[in-house]
A and B are shown apart, each in its own frame.
Chain A
Amino acid sequence: AQTVTQSQPEMSVQEAETVTLSCTYDTSESDYYLFWYKQPPSRQMILVIRQEAYKQQNATENRFSVNFQKAAKSFSLKISDSQLGDAAMYFCAYRENYGGATNKLIFGTGTLLAVQP
């Protein structure tokens, strides 16, 4: 069965600095999606960034970028120029790319990020 591991329960970063959140996953498949979701105190789940496994180029979205290492099954999230509004729980998630409802999202346990002013 596929698993997603986030080994950092909590992280802290100074405002304007850079922080990297770690995620590893286990799968025997070659075609899949990886995601980072942000959950602020409002509880809303917000998609931060998405990576398709067949794409070698790392995804970027403004200050957010990933380091996708397919062979190592690693998918880290880098937040540059951290802002107070980045403080949240971050979840890494995996989904196979077969299409259909059975391709459920599998989540890691989350990393709680604090941003210090």
Chain B
Amino acid sequence: DAGITQSPRHKVTETGTPVTLRCHQTENHRYMYWYRQDPGHGLRLIHYSYGVKDTDKGEVSDGYSVSRSKTEDFLLTLESATSSQTSVYFCAISDPRGGYTFGSGTRLTVV
């Protein structure tokens, strides 16, 4: 969607390797979020940020870390990828009407 981009769009990685996913926004929004989507679970919150260097955990944060050194960038790192982290990852920003605007997602496969 306009104003928020994720990279890469697809990634295959090996078990045990670190992986970083990037979210970039041009809307200057304070709040950013990382979700994962899995069949039968909908979307679940991993981490969120409420400003530069201000982050907190969501409901499925184990095995993940985040960083936000600039307003426009929010990075999600899988410290040591496992097969259970195979998923589709979405970044989102809050919009003025109370909902979220989502990036196009990253499909991550851990083999």
Question: Interface residues, chain A, CB within 8 Å of chain B?
Answer: 4, 33, 35, 42-45, 47, 50, 52, 91, 93, 95, 97, 100-102, 104-105, 107-110
Contact = CB atoms under 8 A, between A and B. Distances in A.
13 contacts: A33-B98, A35-B99, A44-B102, A47-B99, A47-B101, A50-B99, A101-B50, A101-B56, A104-B33, A104-B45, A105-B99, A108-B42, A109-B41
B64 interface: no
B111 to A, nearest CB: 21
Nearest to A110: B42
B94 A101 contact: yes
A50 B44 CA distance: 20
Given A42-B104, A102-B48, A105-B45, 5 more contacts: A33-B99, A47-B99, A101-B48, A104-B45, A105-B99
Question: Nearest 7 CB-CB pairs, A to B?
Answer: A101-B50, A107-B42, A45-B102, A101-B31, A107-B43, A33-B98, A109-B42
Contacts, number: 62
Contact of A100 (B31, B43, B90, B102): B31
Interface of B: 1, 30-31, 33, 40-45, 48-50, 56, 58, 88, 90, 92, 94, 97-102, 104-105, 107
Contacts of A97: 98
Given A35-B99, A101-B49, A91 B43 contact: yes
